[in-house]
């Protein structure tokens, strides 16, 4: 096996995918696996350096990787047979931040916080993503820097929504413009009220029930700070008719005691206020989806040195995530369990342990099917306990090491340390 064939596009893609799934996640481990693969095939073992592998990753086409991701998104989306609210697909949207190596190229694309001194921080990117609420699959995403608000990133993903969908978002997505535009596409919204005062009972259009009002929003005045033109604002309807639902939180330990939901689901008989409130409370699942990708899969701190490879590393994580979510759905379907009762971390651990057996080329079709069936049974063997309303303080028991913080460039910190050590020795 030649050096050219060992780093073919196909091998490089699968090696890259295995890298984001592995617990270590380093390039050196990938090279070791490629060396063992070449040895089994009877070929010449390649060099132990990671240069050739990194060069091969650069040659992977970004558009091809994006197409593969879109295929996994469609595959995961098709796994959803029923919606959460009258068989309607619910798409939950949220954003998160990512860190990466401190290189000049990364700083140019995703600059660090202005509160940090130069070369004392790390580049920071912001990702806004759309998830299927039921299956957990990632449908689309956009990446920006710390200056990008989540709303403009969401607008680039409007093609993800289809007529009949329900958009679920927090107060960061409370916008007259976006609510009106999504309604034009036949998409209803369920969001938290923000930047507007709740409408009182005396000023509502209709009293629908306890804590449930039919209200009207007037089109806001145009300001230059908006991200769209005056002409675009003028095309919006002069008013929107919405429902405002007041939700009282009585769970002990929760900071929020009450909040208001605004929605375009106006039929109070078909869409009960309690059902809408229950749907919104499930929005917390998107935080768990991001936790699965960032913490469990290790995407919280990316590894690549250039923006080009950062984008490829990002999409490879999303491809792997959707594949795992698809496997979770298959296991849950066979065990007749809800997908949310399966552990994402447990599935990932099982994939790492079972993949060497499944990837053996000498396996027959019967043996492969038996392995997959046993894998599905093992995945559904220990369902998660459901603890609704659970409250845990965000506190860490493990203390960090008492190292000083890097508040100056490293070469200056080294000079200060050497000077302090010299003074200490002189005094002794």
Task: Tally the residues of the chain.
Answer: 428
Q: Please give the residue range of the domain that contains residue 119.
A: 62-292
- The answer to whether 127 touches 96, Cβ cutoff 8 Å, is yes
Are residues 210 and 171 part of one domain? yes
Of residues 377 and 158, the one with the higher pLDDT is 158
Q: pLDDT of 163-176, one tens digit each? A: 999 999 999 999 99
What's the whole-number average pLDDT of the chain?
87
Confidence of residue 407 (pLDDT cuts 50, 70, 90): confident
Most confident stretch, 44-53, 154-163, 193-202, 326-335: 154-163
Is 86 domain-assigned? yes
Residue 81 has pLDDT above 60, yes or no: no
In 3D, which of 289, 295, 233 has the Cα closest to residue 91?
289
Q: Does residue 198 surpass a pLDDT of 60?
A: yes
Which CA distances in Å does 174 have to 132, 190, 216, 284, 331? 20, 9, 15, 17, 37
- Are 23 and 66 part of one and the same domain? no
Q: How confident is the model at residue 277 (pLDDT cuts 50, 70, 90)?
A: very high
Q: Is residue 157 part of a domain?
A: yes
Same domain for 56 and 199, yes or no, is no
Q: Which residue has the tokens 């091998």?
A: 11
Q: Is the torsion defined by CA of 196, 198, 203, 207 positive or negative?
A: positive
Which of the residue ranges 13-17, 76-80, 147-151 would you say has the lowest mean pLDDT?
Answer: 76-80
Lowest mean pLDDT of 46-50, 66-70, 368-372, name the range.
46-50
285 lies in the same domain as 156: yes
Whole-prediction pTM value?
Answer: 0.89
* pLDDT range class, residue 314, cuts 50, 70, 90: very high
Q: What is the mean pLDDT of residues 316-324?
A: 95
Average pLDDT over residues 151-161: 94
Q: How far apart are CA 322 and CA 293, in angstroms?
A: 10
Are 153 and 142 spatial neighbours (Cβ–Cβ below 8 Å)?
yes
CA atoms within 13 A on the CB side of 204: 19
Same domain, 165 and 99: yes
Last residue of one domain, picked from the residues 266, 292, 318:
292
Q: Considering the domain boundaries, does residue 331 fall inside one?
A: no
Could you tell me if 161 and 260 lie in one domain? yes
Q: Does 322 fall in a domain?
A: no
**221: pLDDT strictly greater than 80:** yes
Asked if residue 67 and residue 51 are part of one domain, the reply reads no
Q: From CA 18, how far away is CA 316, in angstroms rounded?
A: 10
CB distance 110 to 174 below 8 Å: no
- In this prediction, residue 391 carries a pLDDT of 66
What's the half-sphere exposure (Cβ side, CA atoms, 13 Å) at 294?
16
| Residue 392 confidence class, pLDDT cut points 50, 70, 90 | low
Residue among 54, 100, 114 at smallest CA distance from 310: 100
* Mean pLDDT confidence for 111-122: 86
Q: Edge-to-edge strand order for the sheet containing 188-192? A: 138-145, 124-132, 90-99, 166-169, 188-192, 258-263, 239-248, 212-218, 206-209
Task: Give the Cβ contact number of residue 342 at 10 Å.
Answer: 22
Is the same domain home to 11 and 79?
A: no
Domain finish residue from 262, 292, 322: 292
pLDDT average, residue stretch 133-143: 93
Question: Which tops the pLDDT comparison, 271 or 253?
Answer: 271
pLDDT given for residue 4 in this prediction: 55
- With a CB cutoff of 8 Å and minimum separation 6, the contacts of 200 are none
CATH of the domain at 127: 3.90.350.10
Whether residue 40 is found in the same domain as residue 125: no
**Which phi-psi region, left, alpha or beta, contains residue 146 (left: φ > 0; alpha: ψ -120 to 50)?**
alpha
Residue 254 has pLDDT above 70, yes or no: no
The reply to whether 368 falls in a domain is no
Residue that wins the pLDDT comparison between 204 and 362: 204
In a domain, residue 300? The reply is no
Task: Give the chain as a 3 state SS string.
Answer: CCHHHHCCHHHHHHHHHHHHHCCCCCHHHHHHHHHHHHHHCCCCCCCCCCHHHHHHHHHCCHHHHHHHHHHHHHHHHHCCCCCCECCECEEEEEEEEEECCCCHHHHHHCCCCCCCCCCCCCCEEEEEEEEECCCCCEEEEEEEECCCCHHHHHHCCHHHCCCCCEEEECHHHCCHHHHHHHHHCCCEEEEECCCCCCCCHHHCCEEEECCEEEEEEECCCCCCCCCCCHHHHHHCCCEEEEEEEEEECCCCCCCCCEEEEEECCCCCCCCCHHHHHHHHHHHHHHHHHHHHHHHHCCCCECCCCCHHHHHHHHHHHHHHHHHHHHHHHHHHHHHCCCHHHCCHHHHHHHHHHHHHHHCCCCCCHHHHHHHHHHHHHHHCCCCCCCCCCCCCCCCCCCCCCCCCCCCCCHHHHHHHHHHHHHHHHHHC
Mean pLDDT value across residues 296-300: 92
Please name the residue that has the structure tokens 């005045």. Answer: 221
From 255, 276, 292, the end of a domain falls on 292
User: Total domain count for the chain?
Assistant: 2
pLDDT at 129 over 60: yes
User: Can you state the angle between helices 307-335 and 365-379, rounded to 10 degrees?
Assistant: 90
Question: Do residues 263 and 170 both lie within one domain?
Answer: yes
Instruction: Look at residue 349 and tell me if it is in a domain.
Output: no
Residue 374 lies in a domain: no
Mean of the pLDDT values across residues 112-138? 90
pLDDT at 359 over 80: no
Residues 177 and 257 in one domain: yes
What angle is formed at CA 130 by the lines to CA 15 and CA 240, rounded to 5 degrees?
170
The reply to whether 171 and 267 lie within a common domain is: yes
pLDDT confidence band for 2 (50 / 70 / 90): very low
């Amino acid at each position: 096996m030649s050096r050219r064939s060992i780093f073919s596009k196909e091998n490089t893609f699968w090696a890259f995918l295995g890298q984001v799934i592995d617990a270590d996640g380093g390039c050196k481990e990938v090279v070791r696996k490629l060396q063992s693969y070449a040895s089994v095939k009877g070929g010449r073992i390649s060099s132990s350096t990671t240069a050739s592998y990194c060069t091969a990753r650069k040659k992977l086409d970004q558009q091809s990787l994006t197409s593969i991701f879109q295929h996994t998104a469609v595959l995961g989306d098709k796994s959803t047979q029923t919606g959460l609210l009258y068989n309607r697909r619910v798409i939950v949207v949220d954003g998160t931040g990512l860190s990466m190596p401190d290189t000049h190229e990364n700083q140019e694309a995703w600059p660090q916080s202005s509160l940090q001194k130069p070369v004392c921080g790390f580049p920071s990117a912001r990702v806004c993503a759309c998830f299927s609420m039921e299956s957990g699959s990632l449908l689309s995403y956009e990446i920006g820097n710390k200056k990008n608000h989540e709303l403009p990133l969401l607008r680039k993903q409007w093609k993800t929504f289809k007529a009949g969908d329900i958009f679920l978002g927090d107060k960061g997505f409370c916008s007259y413009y976006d609510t009106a535009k999504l309604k034009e596409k036949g998409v209803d919204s369920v969001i938290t009220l923000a930047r507007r005062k709740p409408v009182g009972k005396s000023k509502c259009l209709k009293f629908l029930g306890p804590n449930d009002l039919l209200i009207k929003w007037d089109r806001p005045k145009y300001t230059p700070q908006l991200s769209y033109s005056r002409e675009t604002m003028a095309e919006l309807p002069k008013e929107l008719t919405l429902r405002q639902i007041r939700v009282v939180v009585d769970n002990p330990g929760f900071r929020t005691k009450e909040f208001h939901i605004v929605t375009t689901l106006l039929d109070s008989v078909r869409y009960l206020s309690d059902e809408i409130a229950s749907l919104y409370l499930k929005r917390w699942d998107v935080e768990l989806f991001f936790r699965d990708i960032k913490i469990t899969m290790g995407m919280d701190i990316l590894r690549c040195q250039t923006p080009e490879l950062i984008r490829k590393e990002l999409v490879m994580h999303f491809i792997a995530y959707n594949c795992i979510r698809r496997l979770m759905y298959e296991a849950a379907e066979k065990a007749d369990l809800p997908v949310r009762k399966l552990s994402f971390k447990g599935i990932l651990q099982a994939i790492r342990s079972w993949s060497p057996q499944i990837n053996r080329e000498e396996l027959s079709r019967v043996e492969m099917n038996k392995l997959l069936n046993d894998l599905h049974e093992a995945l559904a063997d220990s369902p998660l306990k459901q603890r609704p309303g659970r409250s845990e303080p965000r506190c860490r028991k493990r203390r960090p090491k008492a190292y000083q913080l890097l508040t100056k460039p490293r070469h200056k910190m080294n000079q200060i340390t050497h000077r302090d050590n010299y003074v200490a020795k002189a005094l002794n």
